[in-house]
Amino acid sequence: GAVVSQHPSRVICKSGTSVKIECRSLDFQATTMFWYRQFPKKSLMLMATSNEGSKATYEQGVEKDKFLINHASLTLSTLTVTSAHPEDSSFYICSAESGTALRLETQYFGPGTRLLVL
């Protein structure tokens, strides 16, 4: 099956610093990538959708200047948390898909990144 990787898997940073999270589709070209945020014991919350070569579409309430998303190629999307604060601590998960039609297992999920801001 399709594989999506995320790096790093875990990051601890100081308040005020920026953190970049990478999401890669390893064996397929991802036309669309999705970024989710998840708090402990809660559901996944879609933050934004990115398409290769175009600006990301952010969900309502998500600060685009805070969470910078770049989808530079068909296999790589990055999420940068700028000037991170403790409230940004969370589990960030990306997913990727290779087509636009509704299909089985359309979205393939990465293993997630745990961010802790001190």
Partner 1 sequence: AQKITQTQPGMFVQEKEAVTLDCTYDTSDPSYGLFWYKQPSSGEMIFLIYQGSYDQQNATEGRYSLNFQKARKSANLVISASQLGDSAMYFCAMRAINDYKLSFGAGTTVTVRA
Q: Is 49 in the site for partner 1 (CB under 8 A)?
A: yes
Which of 98, 113, 32, 28 has the alpha carbon at shortest distance from 71?
A: 32
Nearer to partner 1 by Cβ, of 66 and 114: the residue is 114
On the CB side of 19, how many CA atoms lie within 13 Å of its CA? 25
Identify whether the C-beta of residue 69 lies closer than 8 Å to the C-beta of residue 78.
yes
For residue 101, the one-letter residue type is A
Q: Is 16 in the site for partner 1 (CB under 8 A)?
A: no
Q: Is 43 in the site for partner 1 (CB under 8 A)?
A: yes
Q: Is 105 in the site for partner 1 (CB under 8 A)?
A: yes
Tokens describing residue 48? 């934004």
Given 16, 42, 55, 85, the residue binding partner 1 (CB under 8 A):
42
Max Cα distance, the chain (Å): 42
Q: Is 111 in the site for partner 1 (CB under 8 A)?
A: yes
Question: Segment contacting partner 1 (CB under 8 A): 12-20, 63-71, 72-80, 108-116?
Answer: 108-116
Tokens describing residue 18? 């920026």
Chain residues that interact with partner 1, rule: CB under 8 A: 32, 34, 38, 41-44, 46, 49, 91, 93, 95, 100, 102, 104-107, 109, 111-112, 114
